[in-house]
Amino acid sequence: MIVWLTGLPCSGKTTLGLALIERLRGMGRKAEFLDGDVVRRELWRDLGFTKADREENIRRLGAVAELLGRNGVITVVCVVSPYRASRDNVRSRSTRFLEVYVNAPLAVCEKRDVKGMYHKARAGELPGFTGIDDPYEPPLAAEVECRTDIESIEESTSKILEQVQAALGDTGTAAAMKG
């Protein structure tokens, strides 16, 4: 199965994804973590941040996640994935897809930004930055919405795990998923 965490930069996708991976592995599940920044840096440096490159990035991530999923791995993908159509395309090709909207207001994301990306984008030094001068299209019907500005990491992670359990029809690990 693919668990796809999407949201603005600095909304908390990686933090939640890592917490989710820890819980899944602690339950004895085969799980893999694909972080958008790491994958871009390590696997496809050829992609920039044009709309076409962002769509290709999502297509490639989806293909890798689907391959892992077909081999019994729960794949947690954490990537901005700003365009709804790109995410919907991955969903349409996947046997099991759980979309998680990691929702935090722009002002909160900017406060969390330790790399200074939002500041650079607002100063015109980082053109095409999602949320500033490039759009982010929130999911219309995500299976899970995590409000990282008001929920704890544990609360958000538990919400995701409940949906993973439901999608997999896994009733035997209900106690493990709750804590």
Catalytic-residue membership of 92: no
CATH number of 2-105+137-178: 3.40.50.300
Nearest to 146 by CA among 165, 162, 124: 162
| Residue-level pLDDT, tens digit, the chain, 179 residues | 999 999 999 999 999 999 999 999 999 999 999 998 888 777 877 777 778 888 888 999 999 999 999 899 999 999 999 999 999 999 999 989 999 999 999 999 999 999 999 999 999 999 889 999 999 999 999 999 999 999 999 999 999 999 999 988 875 444 444 44
Q: How far is CA 64 from CA 11, 24, 39, 79, 94, in A?
A: 24, 19, 11, 14, 11
Q: Which of 81, 86, 94, 156 is catalytic?
A: 81
Sheet-wide strand order for 2-6:
31-35, 74-78, 2-6, 97-103, 144-147
Q: How far is CA 40 from CA 74, 80, 108, in A?
A: 21, 12, 25
Burial status of residue 64 (CB atoms within 10 A of its CB: 0-12, 13-18, 19 or more): middle
Nearest to 31 by CA among 88, 84, 92, 78: 78
